[in-house]
C-alpha cells in the first residue's frame, strides 16, 4: 500500500475509544464524528455497547466491514496486543498514539522492538508510537487528541507539516490556525517504529494538495535515506526544515527528548545544502519561508521593488534587504516618469517608493500598475500600513488582483494590531504571504532568491 | 519650563479644531473629550461657535484662562500665524502636527526657519512640525489623529516610545495595543524644529512612570548632543534603539524620508556601544528587549535554566541560547535529587528540564520552586505550552507569584494561538515578558546579559 489510508481512509477504527471525555480515546473518536468524516467510524472498546451514538466493538476483529485506518489509544500494556489484532484484521494503516515505548528507555525499547516485529512483513503500516498522529484538513482525519479551544485547527491550504516532536507540532498548529495559514496534512510521527520521516516526505511530494513541506526534525533515523529522499522531493516540492539540537547543549537535550542522535550540525547543514532543503533557523522562519515558497515562483534575480505609504518602513525594508544579500531595484526612467504623475510633488519616485501617508487605495493601484511593468524589478514587497485614515480595506483586493496577474514574487509587510491582522488573514486566504515586519518580509524574499539560485527561473518548479 | 506641559497639562487648546469628522482637528479634539482629559479643553476655530459641545474660540488669544498645551492642526499656510498667536498668549507647549515643512523640500524649509524664529527665545516650546505628537496613557493627552479602530491605544505601563517616523510610531502602537504591552508616554517628534530627541530622552529619564525608553531614529540632528544625553540617560534608564538607514540604500531612503543624514552605521554602532544604548536590529527586538529590561534586573551571569512541558521547545531554546552566547546552567546535585521526586521516572532531570506532556500546574509549581533555589542559575526561561490538557490557566498565576519572589530575571516563552495569546497578555499585565518563540526568549535574555555586563549585578540599575 501507499500511505493513502492514513490520510483518506474509507473507514476508521478508534481502538481504545472511551466514553470518558477526559480520555484520549474519547477525543479522537469525537474528532472523527464532529468533523464529519465521510467514511465508517468504528469505536473499539470491550466494555462499551455504544460511544457517542455509535455501536462499539469488543475487538477490531469483531468489525464486519473493512478497516482502512486504525487509531490506537489504549495503555502501553495492551497496545501491542491490539496492534496484533489489527494486523490480523488486515487494517491498512495504524496510528499508535500510545506512549511508553523507546522514548522511556530500556523497558520501552523492548516493547518497541516487539511492535516492530508484529507489523514487519505484513500489509499493515504503522505511524508512531508516541505521537499525535495525523491531521488532514480535507478528509477530516484528525487524531490530535487535544480540544480545539486549546489547539485550534488551521484551515485547508497547501502547506504540509511533518514533525518529530508532538509538542512542537501542537503549538505550531495552534499558531497557524490563529494566523489562518492553510494546511494540507499534518503528521507527528513519533518514534518511527515503521513509517519514517522520509516516506512521509515522499508521499507528500506526490500529494497534489501539498505545495510546500515543512519539517521539524531532531535527528534523522537514517541519514543516507533522508538524503536520497530529500534530493528527489525537492526537485518537485520545496522543503523547509528546522533542525533541533544544533548546539552542544541542544544535542544532549535531544537525546533525552526523542532518543535520537542529533548528529553534527555541520553535517546536517551540508546535507540540507546538497539536497536543496531550505534551512530555517527559527520557528518564524520555518513558516515564513514555507508560505513564501508555497505561494510564489522563485526570484529570478535579486532586485526588489518596495512600495509603502509609511516612509520609515521603506527605510527598514531597504536595510533588511541589504542585510539579506538582496538589492533595491533601480526604477527605469519610464517608471519614474509615470510615478511622478501619481506621487505628490513633495514625495520622491525612487525605490523604496514612499507614496506617502495620504495615499488611498487608488494611488496604491496606480503605483503597483506602474511597478509591475518595470522589468528591472524581480519581485515586490508591498507595505500597506492601515493606520492612516485614507487607506481602506480595498487595498487588499487591489494587491490580491495585482498578484494574480503578476508572474513574479510578491509579498506583503503589514505591522499593526487586530485590524491589520484581519487584513493579513484575508491576504493569506488568497495565497499572498503577509509578514508582520520588514525583516521577516525581506527574509522571505531571501528564501525565494535561494530557490531561484538552486532551480533557476523555473516557474515550473513551484 | 520643563517639557511637563506636553504630557500633563492643566489645559489644552486644539487650534484648528473642526466639526468635520474626517479632519485631523476633529479627531484630536475628540480624543481629549472622550479620554476624559481632566483639564480644560478649548477648541479654536474662527468659524464655529461650538464643537463637540464645547465653546469654540476664534483665536487662542480669545481664551480667558491659561493654556498649557496647544495642538496645531491648521493647514501649513496659516500654521505659523497661529503659532505666533500662541506664543503671544504664553502657551507653554505647542505640538505642531501640520506638515508641509522641511520634509517637502525648499519651500517648506523656509517655512520651518520662520517657525523656529517665532518660538526662539520665548517661553514656548514646540514639538514637530510634521508629527503625530504625544500620547500619554496616564493624563489622557492624545494627539494621535487616527481613529482607535485603525490605531488601538496600548494600556498604561512603563515603556516609553520616542520615534522619528510617525508611520513607524502608529504601526507599533497598534501592535503593542494588540499585545497589551503597557506604555507610559509616546512621542512622534517629526522635524525637531525645537524640542529634540535628546531633550525628550532626558525628560523621560526623569519620569517616574517610565522604566525603559525605546527609540526609533533615522538620523540624529546633533550627534554630540545625542551622545552626551544618551550617556547620562542610560545610567538610570535602559534605552533600546532601532536605527533606520543602516544600509547604503536605506540611507538614501532616509534622506528622502525625513530629510535627515543617516550617517555611517559604523559610527552609530560605536556611539550606541559607548553610551550603552542597546541596539535592536528589528522591530521585534526593539520591544522584546524593552520589555525584558523594563520588567527584570540585569543577568548577573550567563547560566540559564530552562523548564518546559514540551521537549522540542527545550531543545530549540538550548540551541538559541548557545547561538546568543549564553549557556545552560548545570543543575546542582541537590536540584537534581529534588527534581527526581517531581518528574516521572521516564523523564530526565537535566537542563533544559522537560517535565513532560502530562505536567499540570502543580508539577510546574514544584519544579519552579526547586529551580529558583539553585544558585547556579542566573535566570530562568519558563515554557508552559498550553495545548496539552493537563496544563490549565493556573500555571500563569504560579509563574507570576514565583516571579515576584525571584530576584533574578525570568522570561516566558509561549507558542500558540488565541488561547495562548490570552495567557501571554495576562503575564504581560503582571510585568512578566512573554515571547512567542524560543529564539525571541533567548534574545531577550541576551539583552539582559548585555545589561549585566555593562552595569554589573546592579539591581539598583533597573
Looking at CA atoms only, how far is residue B309 from chain A in angstroms?
A: 8
- For chain A, give the percent of residues with pLDDT over 70: 97
Per-residue model confidence (pLDDT) at position B247: 84
* Residue A168 at interface with chain B, using a CB cutoff of 8 Å: yes
Per-residue model confidence (pLDDT) at position A220: 81
Using the beta-carbon criterion (under 8 Å), do A352 and B105 form an inter-chain contact?
no
**pLDDT above 80 (res B437):** yes
A398 three-class SS: helix
Per-residue model confidence (pLDDT) at position A1: 58
Place of cell 500597506: A384
Place of cell 480545539: A148
**Predicted-assembly ipTM surpassing the 0.85 threshold:** yes
**pLDDT above 90 (res A171):** yes
User: Using 50, 70 and 90 to split pLDDT, how confident is the model at B191?
Assistant: very high
Query: Grid coordinates representing A423?
Result: 487584513
Per-residue model confidence (pLDDT) at position A211: 97
Angle at A367 between CA A366 and CA A370, to 5 degrees: 90
* Residue A190 at interface with chain B, using a CB cutoff of 8 Å: no
Say how many Å lie between the first and final Cα of chain B, rounded: 28
* Residue A106 at interface with chain B, using a CB cutoff of 8 Å: no
User: Using 50, 70 and 90 to split pLDDT, how confident is the model at B459?
Assistant: very low
**How far is residue A130's CA from residue A128's CA, in Å, rounded to a whole number?**
5
Q: Please list, in sequence order, all residues whose beta carbon lies within 8 angstroms of the beta carbon of residue A34, skipping any fewer than 6 positions away.
A: none
**pLDDT above 60 (res A459):** no
Assess contact for A439 and A328: CB atoms under 8 A.
no
Using the beta-carbon criterion (under 8 Å), do A417 and B152 form an inter-chain contact?
yes
Question: Residues of A with CB below 8 A from B166's CB?
Answer: 312, 357
Q: What is the DSSP letter of A280?
A: E
User: Using 50, 70 and 90 to split pLDDT, how confident is the model at A262?
Assistant: low
Place of cell 517628534: B189
Question: Residues of B with CB below 8 A from A319's CB?
Answer: 244-247, 249-250
Which of A337, A276, A314 lies closest to A441, judged by CA? A314
* Residue B59 at interface with chain A, using a CB cutoff of 8 Å: no
Q: What is the mean pLDDT of residues B140-156?
A: 94
Looking at CA atoms only, how far is residue A151 from chain B in angstroms?
A: 6
Assess contact for B320 and B438: CB atoms under 8 A.
yes
Per-residue model confidence (pLDDT) at position A447: 98
Give me the numbers of helices (H) and strands (E) for chain B, helices first please.
Answer: 16, 19
Q: What is the DSSP letter of A293?
A: H
Per-residue model confidence (pLDDT) at position B462: 47
Using the beta-carbon criterion (under 8 Å), do A316 and B170 form an inter-chain contact?
no
Per-residue pLDDT reduced to its tens digit, A310-366? 999 999 999 999 999 999 999 999 999 999 999 998 888 999 999 999 999 999 999
Q: What is the mean pLDDT of residues B164-169?
A: 95
**How far is residue A269's CA from residue A246's CA, in Å, rounded to a whole number?**
10
Sign of CA dihedral B37, B40, B44, B48: positive
Looking at CA atoms only, how far is residue B66 from chain A in angstroms?
A: 33
Per-residue model confidence (pLDDT) at position B185: 98
- pLDDT top residue among B320 and A267: B320
In Å, how far from its chain's centre is CA B142? 16
* Of residues B311, B345, B348, nearest to A165 (C-beta): B311
By C-alpha distance, the chain B residue nearest A284 is B437
Measured in degrees and rounded to the nearest 5, phi and psi for residue B290 equal: -60, -45
**How far is residue A455's CA from residue A444's CA, in Å, rounded to a whole number?**
17
**Chain A contact probe: residue of B251, B253, B322 with most A CBs at under 10 A:** B253
Sign of CA dihedral B200, B204, B206, B212: negative
* Residue B261 at interface with chain A, using a CB cutoff of 8 Å: no
* Of residues A104, A152, A352, nearest to B417 (C-beta): A152
Per-residue model confidence (pLDDT) at position A457: 56
**How far is residue A22's CA from residue A18's CA, in Å, rounded to a whole number?**
9
**How far is residue B446's CA from residue B320's CA, in Å, rounded to a whole number?**
10
Q: How much is the mean pLDDT over chain A?
A: 94
Q: Please list, in sequence order, all residues whose beta carbon lies within 8 angstroms of the beta carbon of residue B46, skipping any fewer than 6 positions away.
A: B58, B59
Per-residue model confidence (pLDDT) at position A289: 98
* Residue A348 at interface with chain B, using a CB cutoff of 8 Å: yes
- pLDDT top residue among A106 and A211: A211
* Residue A75 at interface with chain B, using a CB cutoff of 8 Å: no
Whether the bond between A129 and the residue before it is cis, its omega within 30 degrees of 0, is yes
* Residue A282 at interface with chain B, using a CB cutoff of 8 Å: yes
**pLDDT above 60 (res A112):** yes
* Residue A257 at interface with chain B, using a CB cutoff of 8 Å: yes
User: Using 50, 70 and 90 to split pLDDT, how confident is the model at B123?
Assistant: very high
Per-residue pLDDT reduced to its tens digit, A284-320? 999 999 999 999 999 999 999 999 999 999 999 999 9
**How far is residue B308's CA from residue B318's CA, in Å, rounded to a whole number?**
12
Q: Please list, in sequence order, all residues whose beta carbon lies within 8 angstroms of the beta carbon of residue B38, skipping any fewer than 6 positions away.
A: B139, B140
By C-alpha distance, the chain B residue nearest A105 is B346
Say how many Å lie between the first and final Cα of chain A, rounded: 28
* Residue B252 at interface with chain A, using a CB cutoff of 8 Å: yes
Burial of B419 by CB count in 10 Å (0-12 exposed, 13-18 middle, 19+ buried)? buried
Looking at CA atoms only, how far is residue B47 from chain A in angstroms?
A: 25
* Of residues A314, A348, A389, nearest to B150 (C-beta): A389
Q: Please list, in sequence order, all residues whose beta carbon lies within 8 angstroms of the beta carbon of residue A17, skipping any fewer than 6 positions away.
A: A25, A26, A28, A29, A43, A44, A45, A48, A51, A56, A73
Assess contact for A306 and A367: CB atoms under 8 A.
no
Tally of CB atoms within 10 A around B196:
18
Using the beta-carbon criterion (under 8 Å), do A244 and B417 form an inter-chain contact?
no
A353-412 residues touching B, CB cutoff 8 A: 354, 357, 385-389
Per-residue model confidence (pLDDT) at position B457: 56
Per-residue pLDDT reduced to its tens digit, A34-91? 988 999 999 999 999 999 999 999 999 999 999 999 999 999 999 999 999 999 999 9
Per-residue model confidence (pLDDT) at position B342: 96
DSSP B339-396: HHTTS-TTS--SSSEE--TT--HHHHHHHHHHHTT-TT-SEEEEE----STT--THHH
Per-residue pLDDT reduced to its tens digit, B192-250? 999 999 999 999 999 999 999 999 999 887 888 999 999 999 999 999 999 999 888 78
**How far is residue B409's CA from residue B353's CA, in Å, rounded to a whole number?**
17
**How far is residue B243's CA from residue B252's CA, in Å, rounded to a whole number?**
14
- For chain B, give the percent of residues with pLDDT over 90: 87
Q: How far is CA B334 from CA A256, B331, B337, B364, B375, in A?
A: 20, 8, 5, 18, 11
Q: Hey, which residues does B435 pair with through a beta bridge? A: B413
Per-residue pLDDT reduced to its tens digit, B197-211? 999 999 999 999 999
**Helix (H), strand (E) at residue B136:** strand B133-136
Q: How much is the mean pLDDT over chain B?
A: 94
Looking at CA atoms only, how far is residue A421 from chain B in angstroms?
A: 9
The DSSP bridge pattern shows strands B133-136 and A50-51 to be: unpaired
**How far is residue A406's CA from residue B364's CA, in Å, rounded to a whole number?**
52
Using the beta-carbon criterion (under 8 Å), do A164 and B388 form an inter-chain contact?
no
Measured in degrees and rounded to the nearest 5, phi and psi for residue B192 equal: 55, 45
* Of residues A166, A253, A419, nearest to B314 (C-beta): A253
- For chain A, give the percent of residues with pLDDT over 90: 87
* Residue A416 at interface with chain B, using a CB cutoff of 8 Å: yes
Per-residue model confidence (pLDDT) at position B461: 44
Question: Residues of A with CB below 8 A from B327's CB?
Answer: 249
Per-residue model confidence (pLDDT) at position B22: 86
Looking at CA atoms only, how far is residue B393 from chain A in angstroms?
A: 11
**pLDDT above 70 (res A460):** no
Per-residue model confidence (pLDDT) at position A210: 98
Amino acid at each position: 500500500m501507499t500511505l493513502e489510508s492514513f490520510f483518506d481512509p474509507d473507514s476508521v477504527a478508534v481502538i481504545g475509544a472511551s466514553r470518558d471525555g477526559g480520555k484520549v480515546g474519547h477525543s479522537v473518536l469525537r474528532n472523527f464524528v464532529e468533523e464529519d468524516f465521510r467514511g465508517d467510524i468504528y469505536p473499539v472498546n470491550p466494555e462499551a455497547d455504544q460511544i457517542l451514538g455509535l455501536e462499539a466493538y469488543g475487538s477490531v476483529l469483531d468489525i464486519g466491514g473493512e478497516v482502512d485506518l486504525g487509531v490506537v489509544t489504549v495503555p502501553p500494556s495492551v497496545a501491542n496486543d491490539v496492534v496484533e489484532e489489527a494486523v490480523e484484521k488486515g487494517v491498512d494503516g495504524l496510528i499508535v498514539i500510545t506512549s511508553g515505548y523507546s522514548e522511556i528507555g530500556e523497558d520501552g525499547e523492548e516493547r518497541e522492538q516487539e511492535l516492530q516485529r508484529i507489523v514487519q512483513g505484513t500489509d499493515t503500516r504503522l505511524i508512531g508510537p508516541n505521537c499525535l498522529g495525523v491531521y488532514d484538513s480535507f478528509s477530516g482525519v484528525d487524531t490530535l487528541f487535544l480540544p480545539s479551544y486549546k489547539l485550534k485547527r488551521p484551515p485547508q491550504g497547501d502547506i504540509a507539516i511533518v514533525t518529530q516532536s508532538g509538542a512542537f507540532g501542537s503549538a505550531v498548529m495552534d499558531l497557524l490556525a490563529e494566523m489562518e495559514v492553510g494546511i494540507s496534512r499534518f503528521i507527528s510521527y513519533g518514534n518511527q517504529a515503521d513509517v519514517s520521516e522520509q516516506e512521509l516526505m515522499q508521499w507528500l511530494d506526490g500529494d497534489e494538495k501539498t505545495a510546500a513541506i515543512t519539517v521539524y526534525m531532531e535527528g534523522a533515523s537514517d541519514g543516507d535515506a533522508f538524503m536520497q529522499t530529500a534530493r528527489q522531493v525537492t526537485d518537485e516540492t520545496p522543503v523547509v526544515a528546522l533542525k533541533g539540537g544544533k548546539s552542544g547543549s541542544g544535542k544532549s537535550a535531544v537525546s533525552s527528548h526523542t532518543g535520537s542522535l542529533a548528529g553534527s550540525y555541520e553535517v546536517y547543514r551540508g546535507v540540507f545544502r546538497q539536497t536543496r532543503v531550505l534551512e530555517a533557523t527559527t520557528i518564524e522562519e520555518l513558516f515564513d519561508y514555507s508560505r513564501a515558497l508555497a505561494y510564489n515562483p522563485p526570484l529570478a534575480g535579486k532586485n526588489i521593488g518596495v512600495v509603502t505609504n509609511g516612509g520609515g518602513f521603506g527605510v527598514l525594508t531597504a536595510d533588511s534587504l541589504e542585510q539579506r544579500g538582496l538589492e533595491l531595484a533601480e526604477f527605469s526612467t519610464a517608471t519614474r516618469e509615470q510615478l511622478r504623475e501619481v506621487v505628490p510633488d513633495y514625495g520622491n519616485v525612487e525605490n523604496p517608493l514612499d507614496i506617502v501617508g495620504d495615499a488611498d487605495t487608488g494611488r496604491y493601484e496606480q503605483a503597483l500598475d506602474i511597478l509591475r511593468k518595470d522589468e528591472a524589478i524581480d519581485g515586490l514587497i508591498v507595505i500597506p500600513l492601515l493606520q492612516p485614515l485614507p487607506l481602506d480595506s480595498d487595498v487588499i483586493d487591489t494587491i490580491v488582483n495585482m498578484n494574480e496577474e503578476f508572474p513574479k514574487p510578491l509579498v506583503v509587510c503589514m505591522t499593526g494590531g487586530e485590524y491589520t491582522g484581519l487584513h493579513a488573514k484575508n491576504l493569506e486566504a488568497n495565497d499572498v504571504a503577509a509578514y508582520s515586519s520588514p525583516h521577516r518580509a525581506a527574509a522571505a524574499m531571501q528564501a525565494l532568491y535561494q530557490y531561484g539560485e538552486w532551480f533557476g527561473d523555473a516557474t515550473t518548479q513551484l
